Structure 1
């Protein structure tokens, strides 16, 4: 049986500054660093001692900082992969969110959505974004491990899950699997039917303050 634990990085500076994230290389806030430690503890509680656990992470600072907390408890060096980054917003990255909001062209309700031009220079299309996540996931799943941890971003989680359930990439234009910052999504494949479950989506119980 294979279980994937997909972590969305916790609070980062671009969240509190109100600027566009994407490939803007923001860092975790002090609140985010504390949340990353809670994420690591939650994963340690779910993965048996002595079990091998692959660890993959986006290479941006906020995800690297998150996965460093996990490393302290698991002692496994992460594989940093730029393909697990958030969507690139081109020239909008690091600018105020309202700057992007004024220029953003939403996709049509019907018709072409994956290659839709959002009106922001240098931004990835949804198709480009999805393709790199799907390719990274294909390589991750070729590795024979019972436990795998993936640290990524809130937007990219959609395509991690879509890839996991083998949604055709051309059908992913309407997909949206939303999860809060600092959440853990658990995905599991059984050994008999090889069905792929979404066991939990965006769990944040580990972030609840202790009573």
Structure 2
């Protein structure tokens, strides 16, 4: 059986200053570091005695979340660009208000890009898919993944066997610090035990 734990990075500076996250490299806030510490403490108890491999987005806010958690697990996060948040192009470094006022193309389909130099949902899906397949086909039994809200919503859809077009009707999106537990049983059945559990940050 394979046990996959996904963690959405904890509170970042961009959550508090009205700026766009995306590929802008924000640090965690002090509260965010404290939240990540709490996640690490709780996961240590749950994963005691188990071998764990840990992957993280290489953007600071996810990497810092992973590093706080890793202190308790005795592992070193493996940084993967595939786990970065969706690239929103020219609005990176701008405010959320600027984004709203300057959208070039409203996202009506999974192929639309808010900005011409950014990623559509399908682009981000295609970026993540090889990593997803690597995790699913690998021999590791306990996998911890630290990433971002939009990217993890794509992971969730893949895990449930939904096509990228499912975003027209379904978006399983979490909040900062949410922890999900997923199990792939020996018969191939995909189970979700917890989805975006916010109790870990407390």
TM-score (norm 2): 0.93
- Please tell me whether residue 24 in structure 1 is matched to residue 24 in structure 2: yes
1:139 alignment counterpart: 134
Partner deviation per Cα, 1:151-189 (whole Å, 9 max, x = no partner):
000111111111212223344454311211011011111
Contact 2:183 2:192 in 1 (8 A): yes
1:2 Cα shift? 1.1
What residue number does 1:41 align with? 41
What is the rounded CA distance, in whole Å, between the counterparts of 1:174 and 1:80 in structure 2?
Answer: 32
- Partner Cα distance (1:83, 1:117) in 2: 18
Matches within 5 A, 1:5-154: 5-47=5-47, 49-104=48-103, 105-108=105-108, 113-118=109-114, 120-154=115-149
1:207 to partner: Cα distance: 2.2
Contact kept, 8 Å, 2:177 with 2:200, in 1: the verdict is no
Pick which of 83-92 and 162-171 moved more. Answer: 162-171
Residue correspondence of structure 1 range 164-203 to structure 2 within 5 A: 164-191=159-186, 193-203=187-197
TM-score by length of 1: 0.90
Query: Displacement of 1:51 after TM fit?
Result: 1.1
Aligned residues of 1:14 and 1:94 also touching (Cα < 8 A) = no
Runs of 4+ in 1 over 6 A off after TM superposition: none
Count of equivalent residues:
201
Secondary structure, counterpart of 1:155 in structure 2: helix
Aligned mates of 2:175, 2:72 — CA distance in 1: 23
Distance 2:102 2:189 in 1: 42
Measured in 2, the distance between the counterparts of 1:173 and 1:134 equals: 19
Does the 8 A contact of 1:35 with 1:207 survive in 2?
Answer: yes
Root-mean-square deviation over aligned CA pairs: 1.4
Q: Report if the CA contact (8 A) 1:131-1:169 is conserved.
A: no
